[in-house]
Amino acid sequence: MNILLTGGAGFIGSHLCDFLIAKGNKVICLDNLITGKRENITHLENNPNFRFIRHDVTTHIDIDEALDYVLHLASPASPVDYIKYPIQTLKVGSLGTHNALGVAKAKNAKFLLASTSEVYGDPLVHPQREDYYGNVNAVGPRGVYDESKRFAEAITMAYHKVHKLDTKIARIFNTYGPRMRQSDGRAIPNFISQALANEPLTVYGSGTQTRSFCYIEDMIGGLYKLMLSDVNDPINLGNPAEVTILYLAEQIISLTGSKSEIKFEPLPEDDPKVRCPDITKAKNILKWQPDVPLKEGLKLTLQDKKRG
């Protein structure tokens, strides 16, 4: 298959490039490298089945060959990034998604949107099911990301209904693994960097807020199954094994043998208190569920971090 992948130099995008090429597909990777890293894809650049185009998807996308799929992963994805780039985040979710859908329509290609668990906001329903509409503060610090993805879902579904485009929507929950940027700003890369430097691990609030972490290989497998499926409604992809942030910090200190202590800071505005996917649909429809336990995934992530 010939696949256009936006955001392909990012953390999840670059792993998806690897996976798709290993399956014998051709991948055209688009990325403006605002938050993506060229180093994530340099090992692919001599591969005849891979082509990198540095391009901002919020401007017109012109691809001169046939496409079977358009996979739209382009977007800042961590609070550090979308607070730094609020307008770019809103534009990539709106204009970028519109442009990516336009290419899919023009090429009669199937389309997959990488959405996010952030569409649920600070949820009042737990765990979060796909039929939950969310609790989002549109004008809060996280609103630029949350609302850009909610709009992206809406326009994706509109293209499906109006233009009969075959679209998929993946609501991706916290994902981790090799290639996460040290400056990513999310819990796992933050804690690993601090632990390896024997610096205090920064835990916000009391640390009792929960998250569920999915290892990158599991997430890529879920995205691939969704991509090949007949599912058009949004579907959660993530690991339902829920842990507190404090537990995560303690595990990373233990695994690294660090002398770090834990430092508590005030909880940021609109930081979700709980976050855990209900993956019943993914299990029943896609026959997918994650396999890598958190401790094993952290060990693999640490090995990569130490090599880097």
Q: How far apart are the C-alpha atoms of 91 and 251, rounded to whole Å?
A: 38
Within 8 A by CB and 6+ apart from 279, the residues are 236, 237, 238, 240, 288, 289
Residue 107, pLDDT > 90, answer yes
Residue 270, pLDDT > 80, answer no
**Which residue among 145, 159, 176, 215 is the active-site one?**
145
**Per-residue model confidence (pLDDT) at position 17:** 98
**Per-residue model confidence (pLDDT) at position 186:** 87
Residue 185, pLDDT > 90, answer no
Measured torsion, CA atoms of residues 70, 45, 182, 147, in degrees rounded to the nearest 10: -20
Residue 269's pLDDT band (cuts 50, 70, 90): confident
Helices first, then strands: H and E counts in the chain:
10, 13
Q: Please give the domain boundaries of the chain with CATH numbers for all domains.
A: 2-176+214-238+277-286 (3.40.50.720), 187-209+242-275+294-307 (3.90.25.10)
**Residue 129 token pair:** 């099911």
* 69-100 residue pLDDT tens: 999 999 999 888 989 999 999 999 999 999 99
Is 133 a catalytic site residue?
A: no
